[in-house]
Amino acid sequence: MKDLIGYCGMDCEKCDAYLATVHDDQALREKTAALWAELNHAPILPEHINCKGCRVDGVKTVYCESLCEIRRCAMKRGAATCGGCPELESCRTVGAILSHAPDALKNLKG
DSSP assignment of 48-78 equals G---S-TTSSS---HIIIII-HHHHHHHHHT
Could you tell me how many residues make up the chain? 110
pLDDT tens across the length of the chain (110 residues) = 578 999 999 999 999 999 999 999 999 999 999 999 998 899 999 999 999 999 999 999 988 898 899 999 999 999 999 999 999 989 999 998 999 898 999 999 88
pTM for the predicted model, two decimal places: 0.85
> Which of these, 62, 102, 54, lies nearest to 80 by C-alpha position?
54
d(C-alpha 26, C-alpha 77), whole Å: 36
